[in-house]
Amino acid sequence: MRQLDFTLDTTSREAVLQVSARGRLILVHPMANRGTAFTIQEREQLGLSGLLPSRVTTIEEQMRRSYAQYLRSPSPLAKFIQLAQLRDRNEVLFYRLLSEHLEEMLPIIYTPTIGEAIERFSHEYTGARGVFLSIDHPEQVERSLMDFEMDADDVDLVVVTDSEGILGIGDQGIGGFQIAVGKLGVYTAAAGIHPRRAIPVVLDVGTDNLGLLNSDLYLGERHARVRGERYDEFIELFVQTVTRLFPNAMLHWEDFGAGNAHRILQRYSGSICTFNDDIQGTAAVVLAAVLAAVRLTGVPLPEHRVVIHGAGTAGVGIADLIREAMARAGTPPEDTHAAFYTLNSRGLVVEDSEGVRDFQRPYARTRAEVAGWTVADPHRITLEEVVREVRPTILIGTSARHGAFSEEVVTTMAAHCERPIIMPLSNPTSRSEAHPADVLAWTDGRALIATGSPFGTIRHGETYHTIAQANNALIFPGLGLGVSVVRATRVTDEMIYAAADALAGLMNEYRPGASLLPSMSDLRVVAATVAKAVAETAERQGLARRPMTNPINDIYQRMWKPEYPRLEILPAREP
């Protein structure tokens, strides 16, 4: 389809669509098509008379019909496919429906259903709006990005994955494309970032998933995952190309494997505007929950002791950001490591432990520190033993080990801590380190809890506890909006901290059992609040290329509302 047939202003809340196309071309353009909502006059002017049913309907009526179709879909994956088809047919209606039912539909378009959609990508493929880049064809990277037909000033976000560390299901090859699409859907629904100002990208570097390689329907490159120097060269080529073509965009890394995620972020974070949600987004939302909980305990953050069970990309990212918060609270930066005890699959991370990765080493304890502990095996110190010896006040789980926070672990912790902060964060529910109802029972309702999966409200005694869900959707949409409003040149640790602190400030401190974090139903307010904190921090750091004149208004005006844009019907182009 010729891009010149449609020109859409995506820079403000009130979009204007200029149309020179006629007839069926309009009905197959997702942003131009409004189906039966075209007025009689518009149908006559656009050559649509007779191509639509006679009755003109409102977007509210269209929403009711689409929602009924959604409810009739028999499974979460079927609902995902139904919504994807709606998005590809009528983008405004899709986002309007999503915004009206965001809390209900978020688990469908994002986690956990997105995991199944990723696994089934090659089997259920019906088309995809995004960019597929193959390591076997590096010469096509620039052309492929240009073929997406976006100008330099039109792009605020590029979400990219290489699909190695998808959620809890690992290497999914080219199917990881769906996680980039899902993230952008949340950016739009929560923060109002216009869907036409973002690009989802998958880097196809092969896959080590034998099930995919042996499937006749698999759509990606059929070879083992490329690593080492050739992989790094491909990443460098992509970064150089995308930042040259879209100099105002934030580059969002998603679901890279642990071996590459930290390394890539460290390599580029000081020179371009880039962000890794698995490391920084997860850390920020957990820090927000920690800050909110710490306020309730009355114990200053630097006095807390933290055990993190699961020292992978997310776990170490969480530790890094809590350390930053401790330093801000007055602890000398060189002393902050002493408060952290991290465990991997082999137990407590000790300096001479087998398999310790570079990004874990700052948190490795010395052998002398644990020499006096009572343990069964000094080379495999268990979580139970760490909790008994350390007496932590904060326990965070990113291990994907269901039930790891046993009754023994929790009661041992609670025996030495009046308000234990316990966060079983692993997704999905089947991998959660503990059920919050059990944690409340084992602590007699004293625990302050945040989880990775949604658990809702749990009654203990006479108190109804609303369990906070530490969902990254509370952070990354607002971060992206704040960055785009001021066109920040980088994403700094200070901006990540500002996002977490702003989120923590939205907690209701006065109701017993109140959630440590806002509800998913409040994402628009959350995103705007986070965006303001991020944008103001970027300005203070001298990183804003477009300073704000009125922060509230500047942010509000950039939050696109899913309404049919005002049409300007231009003369038809010559064939």
Domain boundaries, the chain: 101-256, 277-544
Q: Which pLDDT value is given to residue 1?
A: 33
Note the pLDDT tens digit of each residue in 441-479.
999 999 999 999 888 899 999 999 999 999 999 999 999
Alpha carbon 53 to chain centroid distance?
40
The CATH fold of domain 101-256: Rossmann fold (3.40.50)
What span, in angstroms and rounded, lies between the C-alpha atoms of 437 and 435?
A: 5
Q: Residues 6 or more apart from 58 whose CB is under 8 A from it?
A: 37
Q: Which pLDDT value is given to residue 383?
A: 97
What span, in angstroms and rounded, lies between the C-alpha atoms of 194 and 531?
A: 15
Letter string b/e over residues 275-298, b meaning 16 or more CB atoms within 10 A of that residue's CB: bbbbbbbbbbbbbbbbbbbbbebe
pLDDT greater than 70 at residue 4: no
Q: Which pLDDT value is given to residue 575?
A: 62
Q: What's the distance, Cα to Cα, between the start and end of the chain in Å? A: 13
The CATH fold of domain 277-544: Rossmann fold (3.40.50)
pLDDT greater than 50 at residue 2: no
**Is the distance from CB of 418 to CB of 160 less than 8 angstroms?**
no
Note the pLDDT tens digit of each residue in 23-71.
999 999 999 999 999 999 999 999 999 999 999 999 999 999 999 999 9
Q: Which pLDDT value is given to residue 370?
A: 93
Q: Which pLDDT value is given to residue 10?
A: 86
Q: Which pLDDT value is given to residue 573?
A: 77
pLDDT greater than 70 at residue 112: yes
Catalytic residues: 110, 183
Among 199-203, 450-454, 517-521, top mean pLDDT goes to 199-203
Residue 509: which pLDDT band, with cuts at 50, 70 and 90? confident
What span, in angstroms and rounded, lies between the C-alpha atoms of 451 and 447?
A: 12
Phi and psi, residue 186, nearest 5°:
-75, -40
Strands 157-161 and 16-19 turn out to be unpaired
Comparing 101-256 with 277-544, is the CATH topology the same? yes
Residue 3: which pLDDT band, with cuts at 50, 70 and 90? low
Residue 430: which pLDDT band, with cuts at 50, 70 and 90? confident
Note the pLDDT tens digit of each residue in 535-555.
999 999 999 999 999 999 999
What span, in angstroms and rounded, lies between the C-alpha atoms of 505 and 500?
A: 9
H or E element at residue 291 = helix 282-297
Q: Which pLDDT value is given to residue 11?
A: 80
What span, in angstroms and rounded, lies between the C-alpha atoms of 36 and 54?
A: 8
Whole-number mean pLDDT of the chain? 94
Note the pLDDT tens digit of each residue in 311-325.
988 899 999 999 999
What one-character DSSP code corresponds to residue 512?
A: T
Q: Which pLDDT value is given to residue 540?
A: 97
Tracing tokens 């002393």 back to the chain, one arrives at: 335
In this structure, what token pair is assigned to residue 259?
């071996």
DSSP states along 171-192: --GGGGHHHHHHHHHHHHHHH-
Top-confidence residue, 427 or 529: 529
